[in-house]
Amino acid sequence: MQTGNFTWDNRITQLVQTKYPIIQAPMFGVATPQMVAAAGEIGVLGTLPLGDLPASKCTALIRATKQLTSHPFAVNLFLNPLPERTAELERQYTRTKQFIEDLAQKSNITVNLAPYDEVQYTDYRDQVDAIIAEGCKIVSFTFGVFDDSTIAKLKAHHIVLIGTCTSVEEAKVLEKKGIDLICVQGIEAGGHQGTFLSETLPKIGGLSLLAQVSDAVRVPLIYAGGLYNAKTILATKALGAEGFAIGSLLMGSQESNLAEFEKEALRHAKANDLVLTKSFSGRYARGLNNTFTKQLDHTDYILPYPFQNKLTVALRRIAKQNEDPEFLSLWTGQSRGPYSGASIKAILTQLIHEVETHSSTTD
pLDDT value at 2 more than 70: no
Q: Give CA–CA dist 116/110, Å, rounded.
A: 19
pLDDT at 285: 96
pLDDT at 127: 97
Contact 26, 2 (CB under 8 A): no
Percentage above 70 pLDDT, the chain: 98
The DSSP result for 226-257, as a single string, is S--SHHHHHHHHHTT-SEEEE-GGGTTSTT--
Q: What is the mean pLDDT of residues 331-360?
A: 92
pLDDT at 363: 55
Q: Give CA–CA dist 191/26, Å, rounded.
A: 10
Q: Is the pTM of this model over 0.85?
A: yes
pLDDT at 1: 53
Distances (CA, A) of 1 to 20, 24, 221: 8, 19, 19
- What CATH class does 2-82+122-258+338-362 carry? alpha beta
What are the residue ranges spanned by the domains of the chain?
Answer: 2-82+122-258+338-362, 83-120+270-331
Distances (CA, A) of 190 to 50, 134, 266, 284, 348: 17, 29, 12, 10, 18
CB proximity list for 87: less than 8 A, separation 6 or greater: none
pLDDT at 81: 87
- 192 pLDDT band (50/70/90 cuts)? very high
pLDDT value at 99 more than 90: yes
How many CB atoms are located within 10 Å of the residue 135 CB? 10
Q: What is the mean pLDDT of residues 336-347?
A: 92
Q: Give CA–CA dist 163/139, Å, rounded.
A: 9
Distances (CA, A) of 192 to 32, 285, 305, 326: 18, 4, 11, 19
Q: What is the mean pLDDT of residues 149-164?
A: 98
CB proximity list for 2: less than 8 A, separation 6 or greater: 8, 9
For all residues of the chain together, what is the average pLDDT?
A: 95
